[in-house]
Chain A
């Protein structure tokens, strides 16, 4: 495989809420080399590192439609419902969301303290 196909590194995405730092290779709504699937928001995107397929992409995060914070797509940080909302903003406007979203958000808040799950690393690891 020639490496020139790889998109150039564009920078590092950093979630302003949880601090997740990952280099991204594309920003926008049309990630290259995909099934021509497009995105409904401008997003930070990288090649999906967990599949051998070259064309798979992974969305890392985007900007909150209300406060413009850069947030990751993790359930602890943001929510997408037609637009991206960071959780603080979503909570401020809780009543404006449909019931399903409200329930979902309340559930997230309840489960927040135990957010760190157990690692699934059964791989043979070096120390």
Chain B
């Protein structure tokens, strides 16, 4: 800090005057500062004033820089002449002597001059820094290339400045309507701020950003930083992207799914938009690929600014888990050796931090633990983990400063490879490993596996050591390993599930995704799986065209299953809880894991009351609702509430944003009622006042923007904490909370939350079913022997994969008894044959394989009811006592329970109908408003009846068996088409068309049921199983097979209590069979006994067959 020039005129009377008097100060301020000057400016002035007076007060001998000796009495020198500013003519200030006012004014002049010098120094520094960036020398070349060619590739490595400078070059050159895409949201905000700052605010509001829930754009915006995903959404609305003249695609080398797809779209778009300029920016990785993809686009190659880096290969010996050795837990010794080597070789005064690249969170935990112990011992290191599941505050610590003589040791995943740039790193340790999610299309499973990195990644990691000076990179593998690495990492499109991509492509009308000109095409099998999955989910029809629900799902930025939940939830008045559940399921888990990977027991205890015995989605719902309650009770408390429960509050904020987005989307599509307005003017006014106050807080925060870097404390035992972290977190307004209050209608959220907490048991059961239908067919069954296993060894099977564990965060992981069928009473009644009324299946959100395969976010469902209502295919034997759902789950139902199947058929039909009406009304609503009120959705009476019937159905108690078929059984499941012809159509399915199934055998009934197609049954068409029965309605007494009995019951069915409008499947036969006799139910019937060919209804067939029977004896 520069000190002001010393004043010559010493004021001998100074001592008698009190400058500290507040009233004096404020009078002087009033006369000299503009009324709107910030308080900060005034206090800065008085601080300056104190310094000035201290400086003046010094003995004469010490004054002047460099002790240049007593200055000669010079003619006319006055420090005031060194200032090129002049204050306006002074006014008198009441109560302050003129001489004092003069003194004050002189100080003020010096203060203004000091401010000028300070700002100018910053400006000059900024310009020097910009000019020193390698890209600065390529400005002209770049602008020329952009002017001449529609596509330009800018290739430059980390530190060349392309991300911040290229946008400014374009702005300076007069380009407008520029969009710059980033793979990550955080980069959008950071870059917009940086560019606005570097361009000296000249563009002010002309630089904006736009991320999922936030936008700083206005009509004045000339350049916007946005995520790749968001630009894709815009392209979905208008494929020609008419709003932009220049598109900058940054970080193209990252090869994220969205980025790759975006490039594909842009390539297709270029011929239609000859005016469009496209600039790809990439690290110098595989540049030819990009240039060639765009027909040999010119490349502007910018060298990076890297200092020399020494590479040391130090392969891990086998006994420490290297090459041959395989260990459960990562051995930290090789990493500790590096810390020691650094301590040994480099004096602590030579600054420089260490960045360690490991593959995953568990590995980071192991190394952090060991390094911590070492650091406590040496007091020369602060150890900091860095990975994406850490809280934002913890991630932010890596940017703090270590105390002098202490180095930071940042232990990170590959997040620090390209996404997070940490200055001051001099040493890098590269494990050579990365964990990447790969997708197994066969098992429909995400797999998090450890791989060797690519050479390109290894170079990126190494480069992190040479940003601020010469560095050292320790590679914990052999040079020969390095040579064996793949040149580039596998792009995301080749290793992830493509469901969402295909859905989006379909909704953009891009035709067959198999024919799309991808930069590098995904594996054909992945595309096929995605198409098959979308068909299975009902988003695509058999011709691979979007269905109504599919086109809605394409607009929801979530997984297909979650989107389905949302749509289904709107039907039964469960919109609020489904919105919340869908939102929380779509953000990363809010459950924090501490550095060691385990949650401490206190957290677990305090989370316990939030757990739902129904499963994780409902636990998350409880969690969110409880959080909203805490938020609505008053500000500030929620942060502590979350910390105590080991929750990342940021995720809940994200979920709230997402929930609102879902809500708006559903409203746009008329699946939800429009928002209610606060009715009375008093409430409105109060809201208005509150909002004004919040806006003020937010503005204040933004002006003081930018967290100051703090100094890290040496750790005690706990992980490195920055000074004052805990205390500071509680001080002042919580800006996240302010934003939350501003953005959301808290009272509405709170109402939804308490409504959800007050859901009755039946409503919960219905919610369970709705969520289950959304998640379907992602189902798993418990292994039958789980009852004899330890809690942690409970295993589950999906159709494709056996032996899956519950994710440790799951509710069921701690309470597996919730999933075992034989409990209490049932056990006593004895169910050794596996019969129970409580079999459960698990619907799950995802299947993730790390070291073992895990089910993530599980919801339990009553097996029989869920399968009958949801299964895509139900196959039965001749008397429907054996039902196989989706060709892998076998239900053994007692004959008496057959009524359930018939009810299920009816319920499914009316559920479909109601849902169809709901979606159809939305489409009409979108098409033309004019058709208006007549075209409403399903009637509330219809929905009410369906709701009641579904609930009754769910509550049915039947003893049944549930079994997963062995793979061999699955292969030989069906009789095949020839055998089935021997059997006549049964009477259970009256009113439904029955078509012989050409693959399975038997008869197809409706869309999903195939009757009598199961092989392995004795050929007994169950004559022997008849037993006498009296119909309670018509009094008919005769022997029936179970099937015949159900058919009769159905025919005889009384109109239900609310059955004024029975659905077609439930129509009684007599009604249909009009006097004309031309019944729609009549079927040709070849009587096997009398060889007659007849046209009969099922009941008539029954009567006919009865004629041939001998009368019962006795």
Contact = CB atoms under 8 A, between A and B. Distances in A.
A121 to B, nearest CB: 7
B120 A124 contact: no
Interface string A38-78: 11110100111111110110111010000000001110000
A74 B87 CA distance: 22
B120 A127 contact: no
B703 interface: yes
B805 to A, nearest CB: 39
B164 interface: yes
A20 B127 contact: yes
A37 interface: yes
Nearest to A43: B84
Interface string A97-124: 0111101000100000000110111111
Contact of B125 (A52, A107, A117): A117
Interface string B108-138: 0000100110011111110111000000000
A125 B423 contact: yes
Interface in B993-1017: none
A58 B117 CA distance: 9
A58 B126 CA distance: 15
Given A80-B84, A98-B75, A126-B191, A53 B423 contact: no
B927 interface: no
Interface string B184-206: 00010011001001001110110
A93 interface: no
A20 B84 contact: no
A123 B84 CA distance: 32
Interface string B122-162: 11110111000000000000000000000000000111111
A127 B163 contact: yes
B38 interface: yes
Q: Is the interface of A mostly helix, strand, loop or mixed?
A: loop
B158 A127 contact: yes
Contacts of A121: 129, 423
Nearest to B129: A119
Interface residues of A, number: 54
Nearest to A3: B220
A16 interface: no
B84 A40 contact: yes
B85 A125 contact: no
Contacts of A125: 164, 194, 421, 423
Contacts of B71: 99-100
Nearest to A120: B125
B41 A48 contact: no
Contacts of A72: 120, 124
A82 B81 contact: yes
Between B160, B201, B204, B401, the greatest number of chain A beta carbons within 10 A of the residue's beta carbon is seen for B201
Given A49-B197, A98-B76, A40 B85 contact: yes
B205 to A, nearest CB: 7
A58 B120 contact: yes
Interface in B382-401: 399, 401
A40 B83 CA distance: 8
B82 interface: yes
A116 B121 CA distance: 11
A64 to B, nearest CB: 13
A79 B68 CA distance: 20
B375 to A, nearest CB: 23
Contacts of B204: 3, 6
A18 to B, nearest CB: 8
Nearest to A52: B703
A1 to B, nearest CB: 8
B1075 interface: no
Contacts of B202: 9, 23, 49
Between A39, A116, A127, the greatest number of chain B beta carbons within 10 A of the residue's beta carbon is seen for A127
A53 B38 contact: yes
Given A55-B34, A59-B116, A107-B65, A124 B85 contact: no
A126 B190 contact: yes
B33 interface: yes
23 contacts: A9-B202, A20-B124, A20-B127, A35-B34, A39-B86, A40-B84, A46-B200, A53-B38, A58-B120, A58-B123, A59-B84, A59-B120, A60-B123, A74-B120, A80-B84, A99-B77, A100-B71, A100-B79, A120-B125, A121-B129, A126-B190, A126-B194, A127-B161
Give the 8 A-B residue pairs with the shortest CB-CB distance, closest first.
A98-B77, A49-B200, A127-B158, A49-B201, A98-B74, A36-B88, A126-B163, A82-B81
Interface of B: 32-34, 37-38, 41, 65-66, 68, 71-72, 74-77, 79, 81-88, 112, 115-116, 119-125, 127-129, 157-164, 187, 190-191, 194, 197, 200-202, 204-205, 220, 399, 401, 421, 423, 703, 706, 709
